[in-house]
Chain A
């Protein structure tokens, strides 16, 4: 009933609108104004452009200033500060170009609105100014490219030798982490070994995988002040590791491991003190569309003082010690294969284990 009422009101409104519109046309024809090429509306539009420039510009400036803090989340990495500086420097240059062109555009629109008896200036081209305004943006662009290129090369350059290596893996819909353990080497993985108990597809026949520490959920711990090297991969569709506070972003690609290194500068505790927000947490978000749970693919990141980090890490148990049955199975199978030889059916896991000598050594 209410829906019907609303519909009726809408229809009536449309009818009223239509009648008013028709009325306006008829009166304009009657008064002869429809034959005039250029009337008051030309003036009104010119003034509106000026109003738009002034009021719109002021509103933009105000809202920008008002939201400035909210759009600048705190930064906590070495290269993040450099990028921040470059971002706002570029923004200032763009801002100048923005203001200049918009002022000229709307200013000219107002100033050179139609006037009776005036004739436009026949001005087809002028090579000198055209060369000048080709060169100016070219030079500015060259400077911006150079600055960007230098920073980009530094950020994507080789990581320092003493980097802490951590593997981050994306799956629908969550992040998993793997630490290399005491040997500082991430063991071999094979996606064919993945199952409910072995999220990473860790191949325990590889010696260096025995001490790997894996997390299928929970927070990611990293030490402050150390270069951190993320080895990134995905086990299903594309994901992207995105940590806005550290200015880190890199796709997680199935079949093609990627990497990104950075140095965190503030621990979670320090950041809580700095922002005055006792609940502040660093977060790792997925930033490449990956399905239903894309918007909730979150991992908490905890930055600690190096000694706290080491203390935490030393308490963690390796994957193999938490899953002794996998190791036992593997040994059994390996022995079985030796004794029975080629006549025995070879299970998929064992085949994979043999194959895994080559692939994806991270």
Chain B
């Protein structure tokens, strides 16, 4: 093992020392010996790894759908004069005389947002990797409650079926924006999508929240209680820290959305006036008085803002892990990384009203939220600098996962910086609800989180399916996507600075928004091409599940515990005892060590040559 770069065969043997195991008597026989039927193994499974794959594949389905919807509305925005007759076979009556129905356009925008934020980047990202990695990386046989975990997926599944079915009803799916602000979302007279479509949206979202809570309670319990011997909180991989805090955020924030949805259901169906007041619509004055539409926004964004961190934090954790592994360097500032995650989690609950600076909210409140919002930039900046410092003087291997991690940092910075403009209440007067906002959040939480998701899939694919994804196709996928994302969202800032409002079916009615027709065409072309580039990934993913190169146990020579399991871990994860943990997960390129990585389960007594002074005591 003198060479820095062992071949796969060598890597398979780990670092060539015997690894002691702890005894977990009660778990020893929890192996994959008993036969399971197809249904209990792949459908109603309580194995966290199968549930993770279920979340992932459902997420991929939703992502394709969400992407398709965006391609449809980009067609409209890029070519407002074109006839879309050719879409009639798919869209049916929503194409009227060759034009997209404007209400259907709003439905497209609404469903794109809902699907991407909740079904792909919350369930698909955190559902997949929290499930897959938490037991594997903390050294547990499974989640604290496998049954609740299974319920979590199936609630998500039912919620998905309901949301999906709403696309096919006569009045169309919800169309009031993914933020479903009432009164628009409360009154079918205002827009047909607020009829049955909105009812289905609310029911689906209620079930989705149940799924999130079942999952979240489980993640938290598992991380607190089921860590293997030696795995203290300060030895947890950053992935686990990020999943842990994500679950905490979800647990505290989602119930508030639930209450908002419940009150909205009451307003819609039972004649209450929580959010409605003084409304004259469709030739009729409604009896509702005393409600406040702004109240809904407070409730919505009390979830909505933590939600963007629920989306991005798992990606942050995975990127930290992948970067350290592939730069062959410890993550820089491990404690600062945890500290900044804690800071972000805490602050994410006290910034929600920066979405509401110009709603008529008290300006003093605006000042407070501006102050708190701009503080949250500090932990984000610390994270970025730490990632950069991790690359500095590394020995970087550009696996596909590493490419996506570097892409993540780039997009996170590009998108995050403009948040400093939007968090400034005074500047938000002009920028609120323009394409500047759209560009900002698509970079910082949309694309970055997607990049984190891709990085995670490419990195942990070998452990999920026992095979490797094709690297060349991965490179093509990365470069097309990376380029595509920038080509779409950088020019979108220009459109936003010029003040173009979002959720506009077309801008041709305004002189002020008459420029940039070409730029919008350009953005549309780039968006549609970037969308098609994703099929390279989808092909690679499904092809590799069945025909990919066989993986080794630890193909990336990584330190965390999941790589000590067999190539395809069975139900129970480790065939023998669960390994104990002795060190933090980032002992890469440690001076004096034989190899450039020392897995967490290697005791200090076996690495005398590389132990730090304070570690020598622990070796005895």
Contacts and interface: CB of A to CB of B under 8 A. Distances in A.
Nearest to B497: A71
B272 interface: no
Interface string A80-93: 00010011001100
A243 to B, nearest CB: 9
A252 to B, nearest CB: 9
Contact of A134 (B4, B8, B378, B413): B378
Nearest to A84: B430
A137 B381 contact: yes
Given A46-B396, A115-B395, A245-B512, A144 B374 contact: yes
Interface string A91-109: 1001001100110111011
Contacts of B387: 105
Contacts of B511: 279-281, 283
Contacts of A60: 486, 490
Contacts of A312: none
B1 interface: no
B591 interface: yes
Contacts of A121: 329, 392-394, 589
A172 B395 contact: no
A302 interface: no
A240 interface: yes
Contacts of A339: none
Give the one of B5, B332, B429, B596 with max A CB within 10 A.
Answer: B429
A13 B279 CA distance: 57
B603 interface: no
Interface stretch (B206-214, B228-236, B287-295): B287-295
Contact of A117 (B4, B334, B516, B543): B4
Contacts of A171: 280
Contact of A291 (B191, B328, B371): B191
A8 B461 CA distance: 33
A44 to B, nearest CB: 8
B184, B406, B409: residue with the most chain A Cβ atoms closer than 10 Å: B184
Contacts of A78: none
B94 interface: no
A293 B515 CA distance: 21
Interface stretch (A152-160, A202-210, A220-228, A321-329): A152-160
Interface stretch (B32-40, B136-144, B470-478): B470-478
A108 B396 CA distance: 9
Contacts of A191: 278-280, 285
A22 to B, nearest CB: 9
Contact of B397 (A114, A255, A290): A114
Given A98-B417, A130-B333, A238-B181, A152 B498 contact: no
Contact of B281 (A56, A155, A172, A295): A172
A210 to B, nearest CB: 22
A315 interface: no
A88 to B, nearest CB: 10
Interface residues of A, number: 120
Given A141-B378, A281-B511, A255 B291 contact: yes
A218 to B, nearest CB: 16
A46 B505 contact: no
A31 interface: no
A244 B491 CA distance: 19
A105 B391 contact: yes
Contacts of A188: none
A319 B172 CA distance: 40
B68 interface: no
A89 to B, nearest CB: 10
B534 interface: no
Contacts of B403: 45
Contacts of A114: 5, 395-398
B419 to A, nearest CB: 10
Given A102-B413, A155-B426, A141 B374 contact: yes
Contact of B378 (A24, A137, A196, A279): A137
B366 A288 contact: no
Interface stretch (B59-67, B261-269, B357-365, B447-455): B357-365
Given A37-B397, A123-B389, A255 B103 contact: no
A162 interface: no
Interface stretch (A62-70, A177-185, A303-311, A330-338): A62-70
B280 A194 contact: yes
A289 B103 CA distance: 11
B462 to A, nearest CB: 13
B505 A42 contact: no
Interface in B168-187: 176-177, 181-184, 187
A250 B396 contact: no
A87 B491 CA distance: 18
A38 B410 CA distance: 24
Contacts of B106: 289, 291-292, 294
Interface string B467-494: 0001111010001001100100011001
B494 A71 contact: yes
Interface string B547-562: 0010000000000000
Contacts of B504: 294-295
B396 A87 contact: no
A94 B377 CA distance: 12
Interface residues of B, number: 126
Name which of A63, A90, A126, A289 has the most chain B CB atoms within 10 A of its CB: A289
B5 A37 contact: yes
Interface in B351-410: 358-360, 363, 366-367, 370-371, 374-375, 377-378, 381-382, 384-389, 391-398, 403, 406, 409-410
Contact of A122 (B8, B290, B334, B589): B589
Given A94-B421, A120-B395, A285-B512, A152 B470 contact: no
B330 interface: yes
A266 to B, nearest CB: 15
Contacts of B4: 116-119
Contacts of A126: 333
B16 interface: no
Q: Which of A29, A91, A116, A359 is packed against the most chain B CB atoms within 10 Å?
A: A91
Contacts of A293: 102
A235 B432 CA distance: 22
Contact of A63 (B278, B434, B491): B491
Given A236-B183, A237-B184, A254-B279, A134 B398 contact: no
A73 B516 CA distance: 12
Interface string B425-451: 111011011100000000000000000
Given A145-B374, A253-B294, A41 B472 contact: yes
Contacts of A102: 410, 413-414
B190 interface: yes
A102 B475 CA distance: 20
B184 A289 contact: yes
A38 B283 CA distance: 71
A216 interface: no
The 3 closest A-B pairs by CB, nearest first: A255-B277, A258-B360, A244-B499
Given A120-B328, A249-B430, A256-B277, 10 more contacts: A90-B427, A108-B394, A134-B378, A137-B382, A148-B426, A253-B360, A288-B181, A289-B184, A291-B184, A291-B191
Interface of A: 21, 24-25, 29, 34-38, 41-42, 44-46, 48-49, 52, 56, 60, 63-64, 67, 70-73, 83, 86-87, 90-91, 94, 97-98, 101-102, 104-106, 108-109, 112-126, 129-130, 133-134, 137-138, 141, 144-145, 148-149, 151-153, 155-157, 171-172, 191-192, 194, 196, 201, 232, 235-238, 240, 242, 244-245, 247-251, 253-259, 279-281, 283, 285-296, 298, 359-360
25 contacts: A37-B6, A71-B497, A101-B388, A108-B394, A120-B394, A122-B589, A125-B335, A134-B336, A134-B378, A148-B374, A148-B424, A153-B367, A157-B363, A192-B280, A237-B184, A237-B279, A238-B184, A240-B433, A244-B499, A254-B276, A256-B293, A256-B294, A294-B505, A295-B102, A298-B510
